Amino acid sequence: MNTQRYRDRRVYVTGGSSGIGLSAARQFFRLGADVLIFARSPEMLQRVAGEIDHHRVSQDQRISWRVMDVSIREQVNAEVLEAVGEFGIPDIVINSAGQSYSQYFEQTTPEIFDSLIQTNLYGTWNVLSSLVPFMKTSGGHIVTVSSIAGLLGVFGYSAYGASKFAVVGLSQSLRDELLPYGIRVSVLCPPDTDTPMLERENLTKPPETTALSAGAGIMSPNDVARAMITGMEKGRFIILPGFEAKGIHLLYRLVPGLVEKIIQYQIARAQKGS
Ligand SMILES: NC(=O)c1ccc[n+]([C@@H]2O[C@H](COP(=O)([O-])OP(=O)(O)OC[C@H]3O[C@@H](n4cnc5c(N)ncnc54)[C@H](OP(=O)(O)O)[C@@H]3O)[C@@H](O)[C@H]2O)c1
């Protein structure tokens, strides 16, 4: 591992206190970057920043944290302004802050829908609309975090899928708009990943969704973060970690009718079993 590969590069990670964001923050730090993590809980941020610090590869490297709720635009604007002043304009931004929910459509309340859209879509919009004007002066790489459920509508993810499809559309527009400024955009679309979010999601997940998810495998957050960094370095727009996720996406693009039939068969089988 080249521990100086990201030396003097500044990396901002929203949702950096847990799961995929935490793994990404830790891996960039181990590759020599200065890392600033954001989330809502100061206790978690402080704890994980201390843990990340154990991975330092140079004396002058910085790991820092800030409390920020990505869904509150005014707070994001204020925090980003202060962060840029203190830490510097980021070279890399990972938008991992997010929330999930899996349930039948009719049991998904409007409040839950609002909350997912506020965090996943508005959250991404808020962070990027605050940071892009700064990044246009120096270039960089933005990664948004969607999901396999942002590329293929999945039973039980009506609210989550809607928020994550929107993130893909936003990212695709930004990719072309920001290219002239030397800012690359990638969208990470992981399959199920073993994080606290998945644990919470499993509490309400319909059996049909569980049956479908089984086909896409489950990854560790470290493997997802590693795949993300490799995908960024290869200049990929859509980054699909894992063999199963890549296979499903490719098959869906080539033979969507066949994939839909297989999905409907799996749903019917799960419904017979329940
Ligand atoms: N795990 C999966 O199976 C999976 C699969 C595909 C995609 N993803 C996506 O990957 C991303 C990370 O998920 P994860 O599994 O790593 O989840 P996680 O372990 O629950 O971590 C979520 C992180 O986001 C922060 N966060 C949540 N709401 C926030 C808000 N409003 N403002 C600021 N920070 C907020 C959390 O900290 P606080 O609560 O302290 O704010 C935490 O740091 C999400 O966008 C998720 O949709 C996950």
pLDDT of residue 203: 96
Q: State the pLDDT confidence band at 216, using cuts at 50, 70 and 90.
A: confident
The residue nearest atom 39 of ligand 1, judged by CA position, is 40
pTM: 0.97
3-state helix, strand, coil split of the chain in percent (to 5) is 55, 15, 30
Phi, psi of 67 (to 5 degrees): -80, 125
With a pLDDT cut of 70, the percent of the chain lying above it is 99
With a pLDDT cut of 90, the percent of the chain lying above it is 93
Residue 45 · residue 63 · CB < 8 Å: no
Q: State the pLDDT confidence band at 142, using cuts at 50, 70 and 90.
A: very high
Check whether 2 has a pLDDT greater than 80: no
The residue nearest atom 41 of ligand 1, judged by CA position, is 40
pLDDT of residue 4: 80
The residue to mutate among 18, 130, 201, having the most atoms of ligand 1 within 8 angstroms of its beta carbon, is: 18
Strands 10-14 and 34-39, by their bridges, are parallel
Whether the CB of 198 sits within 6 Å of ligand 1: yes
128 found inside a domain? yes
Three-state secondary structure call for residue 194: coil
Sheet holding 10-14, edge to edge: 63-67, 34-39, 10-14, 92-95, 140-145, 183-188, 238-239
pLDDT of residue 1: 64
Q: State the pLDDT confidence band at 176, using cuts at 50, 70 and 90.
A: very high
Domain span at residue 142 reads 10-273
2 found inside a domain? no
- Alpha-carbon distance of 244 to 157, in angstroms, equals 19
Whether the CB of 21 sits within 6 Å of ligand 1: yes
Q: What is the distance in A from the centroid of ligand 1 to the CA of 185?
A: 19
31 found inside a domain? yes
Check whether 241 has a pLDDT greater than 90: yes
**Total domains present in the chain:** 1
201 found inside a domain? yes
Please provide the average confidence, as pLDDT, over all residues in the chain. Answer: 96
CATH number at residue 101: 3.40.50.720
169 found inside a domain? yes
Q: What is the distance in A from the centroid of ligand 1 to the CA of 98?
A: 4
